[in-house]
Structure 1
Amino acid sequence: MAGGAVATTGSDAHYAHLVDPNRKWYNNKRLIYLHFWILLLIITSSTNGFDNSLMNSFQSLDQWETYFGHPAGGKLGLLNAIQNIGSLAGYPFAPYVSDGIGRRRAIWVGATIMLVGVAVQTASYNLSMFIGARFCIGFGLTFAANAAPMLVTEVAYPSYRAQLTSLYNSLWYSGNIIASWTTFGTSNIASTWSWRIPSLLQGLPSAFQFCLVLFAPESPRWLISKGKDAEALKTLAYYHADGDDQDPLVQYEFEEIKAAIDSDRQHSNNVGWKSLVSTPGNRKRIVIIVAIAWFSQWSGNGLVSFYLNKVFDTIGITSPTVQLLITGILAIWNLFWAVFASFLVDRAGRRALFLTSAGGMVIFFSLQTVCSAEFALKGNPAAAHAVIAFIFLFYAVYDLAFTPLIVSYTVEILPFAIRAKGFNVFNFVVSLALIFNQYVNPIALQNIAWKYYIFYCCWLAFQFVFLYFMIVETKNLTLEETAALFDGEDLSQRAMAAVAGVADEVRSDHRDYDTKLSESSDSARQEKLASA
């Protein structure tokens, strides 16, 4: 089974001529319903953003700090890392749950576990209870986060698949905003409810999913893999063609899914875990995937995401109110840039976004380091304000690539047979990087303060060089053409054969819809393959 969210309009090129240009998300009742369900799935990412931002906000609350004995150093690192430790514990099981009981039920299981964790966290009366609750939340989130992006991409209407998949990860910041501003609003409550109320609100997305997700459409791909072809066809027809199961687009999607799953079953002996490194093309894929997963958490952003109050302390901004206010504004700023970048994915191209993002981070993080040193050594208040400005600029360029692309590009370069396993490797590395980063950062900041930023300046420069030589442009290429960039034309031709057969069959039944892609488009793609 395919895993993860496949965000590529290139794959839609085979049936772009079958898509009704008049069927828009805002003027078609079935698409409105579908996007409502997709919104219910996307808020899984908001839950993750809420949780990660919550700890940053809590550390600016005197009430929380006092109640739990002012955790610092290794203890603070454990508090921030425990959610990702819980996620790691769930990774061995999540893919099998998603493929075994279905996407919807996997999300429901994750939401249920997270609700238990939220209840325990809200009722916590000691640090051990709080830590255990966060482990539970991370464990449940793994199941929901594994299934939700797959369901988004497997039910989305082709015209909106790339944008919706990019928005999935971008909406992490919506949870960030709610957490930041809720904590800002409750900071004036003198009792422990100043942090218990935000903890309680953390469970709202999971509560909606617990009540509604089992009524959402199931993945047609999963249904066909379980022999439920009629139900899969009905789902595709209902949401993609107003119930017409003979619509050419629906027929093409249905036959393509069947062909892909049949092909996967025939070659099941070649899709084990060893296959991830069995060919030069796959080895290159895994190197890129592991790298961007690690880079996404090791770009200096971890200092801001989890320890912004500690950064503020190093530049003399110690007021909890001011810290919470800046955190809330930064969350809105990040959401704007992440969503903006989501709609640039197919226009600007993956490589351009990655390099612009990496280069911009080198510049702005270096300037942030210089200003932090200026304040630490000379006490210049203007330097402190400049640090805040450069944090905002740093995040603007970070959000150009490392928010919308890290999931979509990962699964885009993975062929169907190993997509689930490769995506699981990506998630595992992200959590591993988060755990290490979150545990090390507070200790380093406590001992060497702004000097710790110098390490990230060097690391960001390395990231830019790596991305320059390794990122392959996949803009406007089909999945099969993308495979050719890694595996060569011969291997890709075998993958294209099955799809070509499906296309011929559908076109023969629907002559009125058979329009070729323009010669210029074909030529452009061939030139891109040749130059690569």
Structure 2
Amino acid sequence: MADTHHYSAFANNTHAQWWKDPGMRMGFIHIFILYSAVYSLGYDGSLLNGLQALPAWKKQFNSPVGTDLGLIAATYYLPKIPLTFVIAWIIDKWGRKIALYLGALFMLAGSFAGGFSNTRAQLMGSRVLLGAGTAAAQIAACAMVPELAHPRIRHWAGSFLNVTYFIGSIFSAWLTFAMVYYPGGAGWSWRIPTLVQGFGPIILALGTWFVPESPRWLVKNGREEEAHNILARYHANGKMDDELVLFELSEIKTAVEVEAQANESSWLSFFKTEGNRRRFFVILLVGTATQWSGNGIISYFLIPVLKTVGITAPPQTAGINGGLSIWSWVVALTGASLVERAGRRTLFLSSFGFMFFCFVMMLGLSGGYAHTHHRATGLAMIPFIFLFNAGYALSLTPIPMLYVPEISRMDMRAKSAALLLLSQNCAQAFNQFVNPVALNSIGWKYYAVYVAVLGAYFILFFLFVRETRGLTTEEAAVVYESAEAREAALDAARREMRRQKAEEKLSEKERLSHEEETKRV
């Protein structure tokens, strides 16, 4: 698209630096609150690894391995698969905020149930509650962040959403590391970090009260004045006739009208047009890539992976788990800061190329250790685990939750976020069963599968993923349409803005005329 289509072409009553602007600062505070929806996801991602390093946890649940360990891990993801459709319906029907409240409630219940579990059945039940809660909160936050963010910082807001994963991951990893040295009375060494998982849901529940509803959802439900007020307050410091605000509002109204005429907001809409079919494929591609790039082995089964190269001592395994979380967070922050400068597509391709290289090296080193049992060979795998995590965190942590909502039309945004989560959870549930069994059965040879998978993903992303750098929310939403459709959508939004401006000028003239008439009388 031409430069004139960029949001910077419109006058805007905000400071050039967002942190010095009152409206944008408050808007980012709301977005930070939404980030807590992802906190528990990261906490759990590192918690299960950390718990496997604690003797008290293994004693309590009879040292689960293989299929037993896979089932415990999978119960977190299995409920998300059917609930995805229900959550998307709730978000579209009742708004984004109700799903955030429900998510916080279920996550809090799950953390308490897990902390006081005594059997595997109770533990798996708590993980079902946690899975349901994180699904609701994650889908709502994924749809809501780009809808609330100022266009100037939308890429920051969306890309940093999933980086919050590592805040929870770091906290969990180092808390469980500390618990290695806990005296262990009544098994509190593992119960404490499990109960602390409720911290994120509490923040989310309290903070959501202050977060405004999505302007796009409000317009769609006939509450245009409320939407206009929210956009003006946080995108122009209350200036109702701000040029950027009027353009955003006109884009939203045009999109709502077009979507209402098309009457295509069901799940079947993904298959009715060429543009939607492209989106459907790309969303599935991005969603499965976040789970089938080899990270599933490292994230949830680091302990068995380290065992394949002879690293088994609890302080060592817990320390590596904690170090990985911090390292991944730093790299994810770097990736999030580069999404607008380097572009989404460039970062995706860079990540897959680097992860492919790292898995080739991990395959060779773990195979060498299996044949020689040379300790230095096994230890040499650790740097490549860290480098692999860097490759993953560079793009597959920050970009998916930014990219999927921004390439989706407003009426399909919640469903697209749900489809992303559905594909992730199906892929992850598969991982939880297959990875521990495969590692237990064929060990290091299993890494060869991911070498092939990473090569395939590089090719698919190169062929099918399109760039959205520099576009407004509504412009990015049509990037998978034809060139003619993209121009038509933008022209319609501009016509609506001109009509709205003309009406405001006419209203102002009528007001001045009325005041003059009143003075003469």
TM superposition score normalised by structure 2: 0.91
Q: Is the 8 Å Cα contact of residues 84 and 135 (structure 2) preserved in structure 1?
A: yes
Structure-2 change in CA distance of 1:485 and 1:144 (3 Å): closer
Cα distance in 1, alignment partners of residues 417 and 476 from structure 2:
17
1:245 aligns with 2:232: no
Matched residue, 2:515 = none
Q: 1:143 to 1:276 in 2, by over 3 A?
A: same
- Decide whether aligned partners of structure 1 residues 148 and 318 sit closer, same or farther in structure 2, where only a CA change above 3 A counts: same
Q: Which residue of 1 is the match for residue 251 of structure 2?
A: 256
The letter of the residue matching 2:202 is: A
CA contact (8 A) 2:110 2:129 kept: yes
Alignment partner of 1:161 is 2:189:
no
TM-score normalised by the chain length of structure 1: 0.89
Q: Which residue of 2 aligns with 1:274?
A: 268
The corresponding residue for 1:345 is 339
**What stretches of structure 1 of length at least 5 have no aligned partner?**
1-7, 512-532
Change (3 A) 1:471 1:136: same
- Give 1:29's aligned amino acid: P
Of 107, 111, 135, which residue of structure 2 is paired with 1:118? Answer: 111
CA contact (8 A) 1:9 1:162 kept: no
**Structure 2 regions of 5+ residues with no counterpart?**
506-521
Residue 396 of structure 1 corresponds to 390
Give the 3 Å change call, closer, same or farther, for CA 486–226 of structure 1 in structure 2: closer
Q: After the TM superposition, which of the residue ranges 360-369 and 94-103 deviates more from structure 2?
A: 94-103
Q: CA deviation at 1:168?
A: 0.3
Given candidates 122, 125, 128, the residue that maps to 1:132 is 125
Instruction: Please tell me the residue identity of whatever aligns with 1:249.
Output: L
Q: What is the deviation of 1:145?
A: 0.9
Q: In 2 relative to 1, CA 10–457 (structure 1 residues): closer, same or farther, beyond 3 Å?
A: farther
Asked if 1 retains the 8 angstrom alpha-carbon contact of 2:92 and 2:414, the reply is: no
Q: 1:23 to 1:86 in 2, by over 3 A?
A: same
Deviation (angstroms), 1:402: 1.1
2:124 aligned partner, one-letter code: I
Q: Could you tell me how far 1:483 is from its partner in structure 2?
A: 6.9
Q: Distance in 1 between matches of 2:258 and 2:503?
A: 23
Q: For the pair shown, which has the larger CA radius of gyration, 1 or 2?
A: 2
AA of the residue aligned to 1:284: R
Q: Are 1:293 and 2:287 an aligned pair?
A: yes
Deviates more, 1:473-482 or 1:231-240: 473-482
2:493 match = 499
* 1:41-56 aligned within 5 A: 41-56=34-49
Q: 1:45 and 1:418 mapped to 2: Cα distance? A: 21
Determine whether 1:220 maps to 2:215.
yes
What fraction of aligned residue pairs are identical, expressed as a percent? 34
2:432 equivalent to 1:408: no
Task: Give SS of 1:120's match.
Answer: helix
Q: Which is further off, 404-413 or 381-390?
A: 404-413
Q: CA deviation at 1:141?
A: 1.3
CA distance in structure 1 between the partners assigned to 2:143 and 2:423 by the alignment: 19
Corresponding residue for residue 512 of structure 2: none
- Tell me if structure 2 keeps the 8 A contact 1:338–1:400: yes
Partner of 2:322: 328
Could you tell me how far apart the structure 2 residues matched to 1:383 and 1:9 are?
54
Match of 1:178 in 2: 171
Cα 1:30–1:421, aligned 2, differ >3 Å: closer, same or farther? closer
Amino acid at match of 1:488: S
**Distance in 1 (alpha carbons) for counterparts of 2:3 and 2:380:** 42
**Greater Cα shift, 240-249 or 125-134:** 240-249
Aligned with 2:28 (options 35, 47, 57): 35
SS at match of 2:76: helix
CA shift at 1:50, angstroms? 0.5
Number of residue pairs matched? 503
Q: Distance in 2 between matches of 1:214 and 1:240?
A: 20
Partner of 1:527: none
Shift of the 334–16 alpha-carbon distance from structure 1 to 2, 3 Å rule, reads farther
TM superposition shift of 1:413: 3.0
* Equivalent-residue separation in structure 2 for 1:414 and 1:298 (angstroms): 23
